[in-house]
Amino acid sequence: MSKLTLAIPSKGRLMEQTTDMFARAGLVVRKVGHVRGYRGEIEGLPGVDVAYVSSSEIAAALKSGSVHLGITGEDLICENISDAGTRIRFLQKLGFGFADVVVAVPTCWIDVSTVAELEEIAIPFRRKHGRWPRVATKYINITRRFFGAKGFGDYRIIESAGATEGAPSSGMAELIVDITTTGETLRANGLKILDDGVILKSQANLFATNAAAWTPELEALCSELTGKLASSVRQTVISRI
Amino acid sequence: MTAETVQNLEALAAQSQTVMSVFIKAGYDAVAPAIIQPADVFLDVIGESLRARTYVFTDQDGAELCLRPDITVPTCRLHLERHADPTTIARYCYNGPAFRFQPQGATAAHPREFRQAGIERFGDEAREAAEAETVAIIIKAIEKIGFRDWTLKLGDIGLFSSVLDATGISPNWKTRLDDAFLRPLSFREALKGFAVGVRPPSANFPEELLSSLRRDDMDASEAAVAVYLEEEAIELIGTRSLTDITEHLIVIAEERNEPPLDARAAELIERYVGVSGPALTAGEKISTLIKEAPSGSGYALETYDRRLALLANAGIDLGRVSFSAEFGRTLAYYSGLVFEVNAASLGPKSPIAGGGRYDGLMRAAGSGADIPAVGAAIHSERLLAAMGGKAP
């Protein structure tokens, strides 16, 4: 029988939180072979193959169907898979990796607190500066969909690989679309979130992809795993209360 | 549709040669701007919507480049490279490929790779004469190919401004409506909203500051905004200046006190936007509504009539010309006249040529100021298709 492949983050805080969450569900995830290797297994679930993948590439693995399951942020799925609604199944919210994708503008723009007001300044801005306001972001598709749904097209995206919050003060862009958890980094960089500028409230999820080959046996194993993780997430929520 | 057969390629080449000979004879310099262009200029001018239609890529040095989606912007850049003084009068013609992603899939009528043969004219202050000549040369080239069954459609987004002047509305309303006009999707709704005089509610404005701002004393107003920011410990960052922010705050304050858009003006505006049909009849309709307007300035009408007269002088049969007030609203960078040449066999969605005035484009390309500019291009594959695939 072929195995159920699960991609989990290969490093950093997301990997630790994933491992902890499995432990609370009574599942021990460990590496197979060399400690620096990228294969693992789950004690007690011999049908599952674990692949350690960099969290940004988990979306790509789900998109192509090279894994059955993956743990990553909703933001990365929405950004990288345009037909996520049909291709990807959201199996379980995992209660960590919280991050909001937001539209943030300089706090000194006391004249702008909604997307409608942002739209108002776009044409005067262009009249004066000869170009549209620039939006720095790594969430190009999410940004385009969000503004598109509001009928706003008078802006220019600047791709930003990192330290996006610094783009307005350094003059690289006028505003940003980025993730934030507490808003502290935004405030430190002189930025505020628009009143209607929260695009997505994201957290880590267990995702399944329809692009992979599924058998009834694999589906059953997937349900078992999802059930265990779900009870672990519920317990965490209760203990927090 | 690229040239898939040698016959097709030869037919296109022969056609372009004839078209170019008409342009060159009329005094236009033949140029060949680069096919690969910096993406900046296009995306800055036309906005994020064009990125979806342009093949944008990053080269090995990380520079953002594109396959030119038209040849007008590359010709502007070429002009700026040639002339230290961008106001230098110049006329250029070109023939070559341009590239556009077709979201609905590439077809023969909407190919991803197509050829344009066109003309651009910069720095000519005699605007209306230059426009009429541009239209006439394009028609002449099309007829030289042997295609005679054309119709010409005109629009003018600058005319809307003149109609607004005639209605005698306040400058704030004028700016708002001018901006709203460029967004056909929300225009009707905006007009309705304006008639009630509602400024969309948005809670957190600093009320005291707003009420202290005065357009006729910008210095004091800016100082007040600066004091407010300082008191609130807000740092001024980014490219929008204190002036930009203050100006928008003043607009917000004024709009709150602005009486609703006059119902009579709203009605006139709606009637103007609905004007469409044969150019001569459309002129009469505009004339009637301008005469009914409160401050009945005839400027819009004079422009309209003078343009038709110039076209007739240039030998254009006005019976084949139509006008639509809405035409040109969604077309990227045009600032005044827009036109389109159609062939009945290809339908209204596949014009064989098009162009217009775009005085603001050169500034975006780096000239530092608006430069009078008018141009037009023939869609080579479509013209060939209208000719049944036969070169002259």
Same domain, A76 and A153: no
Interface membership of A112 toward B (CB under 8 Å): yes
pLDDT 10s digits, A190-201: 999 999 999 999
pLDDT tens digit sequence for A92-129? 999 999 999 999 999 999 999 989 889 889 888 988 88
If asked whether residues B145 and B10 sit together in one domain, one would say yes
Single-letter residue type at B361: L
Shared domain check, A216 and A149: no
Nearest CA to B168 out of B246, B257, B262 is that of B262
B297 part of a folded domain = no
In a domain, B294, yes or no: no
Q: Is residue B272 part of a domain?
A: no
Which positions in chain B touch A117 (Cβ < 8 Å)? 202
Helices first, then strands: H and E counts in chain A: 9, 12
Whether residue B244 sits in one domain with residue B143: no
Residue B292 has pLDDT above 60, yes or no: yes
Radius of gyration of chain A (CA): 21
Whether residue A228 is found in the same domain as residue A140: no
Name residue, tokens 């007739």: B312
Give residue for tokens 């989606």. B69
CB pairs under 8 A between A and B: 99
pLDDT band for A74, please (50, 70, 90 cuts).
very high
Burial (CB < 10 A; 0-12, 13-18, 19+), residue B288, is exposed
Clarify whether residues B72 and B138 are in a common domain: yes
pLDDT tens per residue across span A205-219:
999 999 999 999 999
The number of domains in chain B is 2
A188/B contact by beta carbon, under 8 A: no
Of B233, B257, B281, the one marking the end of a domain is: B257
Is B102 inside any structural domain? Answer: yes
Beta pairing, strands B150-156 & B321-324: parallel
The pLDDT of residue B1 is 46
Point out the domain boundary residue: B230, B257, B284: B257
Residue A56: which CATH number?
3.40.190.10
- Same-domain check for residues B101 and B25: yes
Residue B251's pLDDT band (cuts 50, 70, 90): confident
Give every CB contact of residue B354 below 8 A, 6+ residues apart in sequence: B338, B339, B340, B341, B376, B377, B379
pLDDT at res. A237 = 64
- ipTM for the predicted complex comes to 0.85
Least confident of A156-170, B203-217, B302-316: B203-217
Same domain, A191 and A72: no
Identity of the amino acid at B22:
V
Between B169 and B272, where is the model more confident?
B272
Which three-class secondary structure state does DSSP give residue B119? strand
Identify whether residues A126 and A89 lie together within a single domain: no
Containing structural domain, residue B70: 6-149+344-386
Structural domain that includes position A45 = 4-98+203-240
Let me know whether A10 and A87 are in one domain: yes
A120-141 pLDDT per residue, tens? 898 889 888 878 899 999 999 8
The span from the CA of B193 to the CA of B200, in Å, is 9
| Whether A147 and A83 share a structural domain | no
Q: What is the pTM of this model?
A: 0.72
Beta carbons within 8 Å of A128's beta carbon, 6+ residues apart: B244
Distance (Å) from the alpha carbon of B37 to chain A's nearest alpha carbon:
17
Is A123 found in the same domain as A175? yes
The identity of residue B9, as a single letter, is L
User: Are residue A121 and residue A197 in the same domain, yes or no?
Assistant: yes
What SS3 state is found at A115? Answer: helix
Quick check: B245 and A108 CB within 8 A?
A: yes
Mutate to test the interface with A, among B237, B243, B330 (most CBs of A within 10 A): B237
CB contact under 8 A, B47 and A154: yes
B128 and B213: one domain? no
Please, which residues 116-145 of chain A have a Cβ atom closer than 8 Å to chain B? 116-117, 120-121, 123-125, 128-132, 144
The mean pLDDT value of chain A amounts to: 90
- Residue B350 inside a domain? The answer is yes
Same domain for A234 and A193, yes or no, is no
| pLDDT tens-digit readout, B328-372 | 766 567 888 999 999 999 998 899 999 999 998 888 788 888 899
Is B20 found in the same domain as B143?
yes
In a shared domain, residues A194 and A210: no
Q: Decide if B288 is inside a domain.
A: no
State whether residue A153 sits within 8 Å of chain B by CB.
yes
pLDDT over 70 at B184, yes or no: no
The count of structural domains within chain A is 2
A82 & A43 share domain = yes
Helix axes B157-167, B171-181, angle to 10 degrees: 150
Residue B218 lies in a domain: yes
B73 occurs within a structural domain: yes
* Option in A109, A130, A168 nearest B245 (CB): A109
**Residue A56 pLDDT > 90:** no
